[in-house]
Amino acid sequence: MARTRHAAAAFSLARWLGPWASPGASPRDVRERRVLVEGTPSFDARLFSPPSTPVGALLLVPGLHFHGPGDPRFERFARVLAASGFVVFAPFLPAPMALRADPRTADDLVRAWRVFLDVPERPRDVQPGVFSISFGALPALLLAAREPVGGLVVFGGYADFAGTLRFAVTGDGHEAPDPLNLCAIFLNIVDAIPGAPADPSRLVAAWHRFATRTWGRPELRTPEMRFKEIAREIAAELPAEERELFLVGCRVEPGAEEIVAAALARLSERARALDADVERLSGIRAPVWLVHGAEDDVIPVEQLDILARRLPPGVLRGAFTTGLYGHTAHAGLGALLARGAGAVREARVMAGMLGAIVSAGTAPAE
């Protein structure tokens, strides 16, 4: 019976997440409510439940995004999981919503996990799993090192923080990185940038505002680079002495590579605190699956191999690279058909990815 229910969950996931699915379509027969995670700081979470008896449970860990689980793409994913039989818990973690990479986010995530364990909706015969996205990788990995999660899927994650930041600036030999993400890098390192103002709050707020107006709008990345118009509009509201640095951080003016290198040299200790290193991951006992887009323009695909080497022996169950899924979206059915013989490999990879989700969220309760 359990095997049949797991197969049905995988089939539903394939229906909604495969390249044939419309990214604008979302399941409607899902129940939803807000849950408060108390503490310092307190924050909300969204709980999504299936319309019938659940097959499993998953904690979703978002990356750096000002909407958190309220981002339409993230919300759709949560609803797809719920419609496929999973009780889903998605916390609004404060630091990631402020676009901050902060090792203390792992502590907030542990509190969210413990609240999730107590919600009446989750099935008691399974141990909830975890699915992390992008910069949510480190908090999720540290959670798995501290708590008995059922399984962990890391999508588009990283292991080396400084290397990931350098990629965001230079592309590191790949195609050009997403130009709209540089503002989040500068926001995180501004206190170590030579010549930055002693009080960088105006710059931080301006970069955050730039992100809210440009992220999720691929039309701004056309050859005309229309995002630059938005950057200059925001820059006009800053004091003259802060405008140039702001525009560099929006990839409007040159000089980002040198600035980030200088800041990282000053922030070596902080960068190490944001690494997924061998020692910090040594407590992981749950099975782990790693998934990464081959053409991810935010976090380079090489981070998958680095992370795989840093996991404790025996926990890695699968590592998948795919050409159909980027950092935030899938390429569509046309891209699959265009791959010819490669389409068979992609189909197998997708089956492995969906199987990983099901396995992570349906581990038997301890």
- Residue-wise pLDDT tens digits, 135-162: 999 999 999 999 999 999 999 999 999 9
Q: Report the greatest alpha carbon distance in the chain.
A: 67
Q: Measured at the alpha carbon of residue 224, what is the angle toward residues 219 and 229, in degrees to the nearest 5?
A: 85
Q: What is the pLDDT of residue 270?
A: 86
Q: What is the pLDDT of residue 76?
A: 95
**Contact (CB, 8 A) for 54 and 122:** yes
- In the block, tokens 């926990």 appear at 315
Torsion of the alpha carbons at 81, 304, 113 and 39, rounded to the nearest 10: -120
Could you give phi then psi for residue 315, rounded to 5 degrees? -90, -25
- Residue-wise pLDDT tens digits, 44-91: 999 999 999 999 999 999 999 999 999 999 999 999 999 999 999 999
Q: What is the pLDDT of residue 27?
A: 92
Q: What is the pLDDT of residue 221?
A: 78
**Contact (CB, 8 A) for 258 and 287:** no
Q: Show the low-confidence residues of the chain (pLDDT under 70).
A: 1, 173-175, 223, 326-342
Structure-token pair, residue 304: 């998958």
Q: What is the pLDDT of residue 337?
A: 47
The answer to whether the predicted template modeling score (pTM) of the entire model surpasses 0.85 is yes
